Amino acid sequence: MPLVVLAGIVLAALPFLGGSQYLATIGLLTAASALVGQGWNLAGGFGGLTSFGSVMFFGIGAYTAAIIQTRWGINPWFGLPAGAALGGLAGAVVGFAAFRAGLRGSYFALVTLAFAEVFHVLSNSLALTGAGLGITLRLAPGLGNFQFLDRRASYAVMLALLVLATALAHWLRASRFGARLVALRENEDAAQALGIDIVRTKTLAFALSGAVIATAGVVYTQTYLYIDPSIAFSVERSVEMLLVAMIGGPGTVWGPILGAIGLHLVADTAQAWIALPGFAAMLYGVVLLAVIRLLPDGIAGMFRRA
C-alpha cells in the first residue's frame, strides 16, 4: 500500500509539472470523481447504505454556490461551507426519514433515487434555480471570486478537498463510530442487540456523505460557471460515484481514489477513440460487470492480497 500511496502522489503532482490545461482538466475531473466516490463510500462503503440518489447532494452544493452569488451577492468562497452544510442537512433529513421508517437495502436505495428526482423536478421548476435554463455565473477571474483561468488552481482546490475527505475516511476506519457503522453493515440485528442506535448512526453517516459530495458540486460550479438540472442531478454522475467506490473497493480508505484513476484511464482513453452518444454509460456497465466478476473486493482488495 505505501507504493500505491506514492504512485498516487506522483499522479496528483503531474498536472502541476507542466503548463498543459488539458492534463489539469483530466486531473480535475478525476479528483472530482474520487471526491464524490469518497463521499458515497463514507455511507455506502463503510455502512452498507447503498444509495442510488446521492447525486442530489452534488446538485445541492452546485446550486448553493450559484444562488448565493447571483441572487444574494454573497462571496463565492462562502459557498463551500454553505454547500457542505446544506448537503449534510439534506442527508440528515432524508436519512432520518428513511431509517426511522426502517428502510434498508434496495428499499433505501430506491427512496434516495426518488428524492434525487424530486430535487431534479424542483430545480427544473423554481425561479430561484433558473428553472430549465439554469444559472450562469458572471465571469470575474480572481482568488477573491473563487474563479481561476488556470485549471490547475481549480484542480488544487478539488485535490485539497479530496485529501480532507480521505482523512475523514481514515478517521472513520479507526474510530468507534466507524466500528459501529461496520457492525451495522455486517449484521444490523446483532448490532442493535449490542445497543447501537441504528437510526442515529446511519443518519450521521448519510449526513457526512452528503456534506462531502456537496463540496464537489460547489467547485464544479465555480470552475465551469454554469449549472442546470441536467448537470446537477445527472443520473450518469450518480452511477459514476457508485462505480468509483465499487471498482476501487467499498469500505476502504484508498478505494475511491484508485477507482477514479482506473475508471478515467479506461473511459477517457476509450472515448478518445470512440465518440458515440451513450458510450460512456455502456462502458461503465461493462467495467462494473468485469470488476464484480474478477475483483469482488475492488482494486484496493487486490493490492491488499498482493
Please report the DSSP string for 175-241 in residue order.
Answer: SHHHHHHHHHHH-HHHHHHTT--HHHHHHHHHHHHHHHHHHHHHHHHHHHSEE-HHHHT-HHHHHHH
Stated pTM of the model: 0.91
Per-residue pLDDT of the chain (306 residues; tens, 9 = 90+): 566 566 667 667 777 776 678 888 888 999 999 999 999 999 999 999 999 999 999 999 999 999 999 989 899 999 999 999 999 999 999 999 999 998 988 899 999 999 999 999 999 999 999 888 999 999 888 888 899 988 889 999 999 999 999 999 999 999 999 999 999 999 888 988 888 999 999 999 999 999 999 999 999 999 999 999 999 998 888 888 888 998 888 889 988 998 898 887 777 666 656 666 666 667 767 777 777 777 767 777 677 666
**Cell 500511496, residue located:** 5
In a domain, 157, yes or no: yes
- Residue 258 lies inside a defined structural domain of this protein: no
User: What's the confidence (pLDDT) of residue 269?
Assistant: 64
- What pLDDT score was predicted for residue 5? 63
**Run of H or E residues at 249:** none
Q: Are 254 and 5 in contact (CB under 8 A)?
A: yes
Residue 140 inside a domain? The answer is: yes
Residue 180 lies in a domain: yes
For residue 104, give its domain range.
Answer: 20-233
Would 294 be classed as within a structural domain?
A: no
**Nearest-angstrom CA–CA distance, 47 and 281:** 26
Number of domains in the chain: 1
Within-domain flag for 271: no
192 part of a folded domain: yes
Is 281 domain-assigned? no
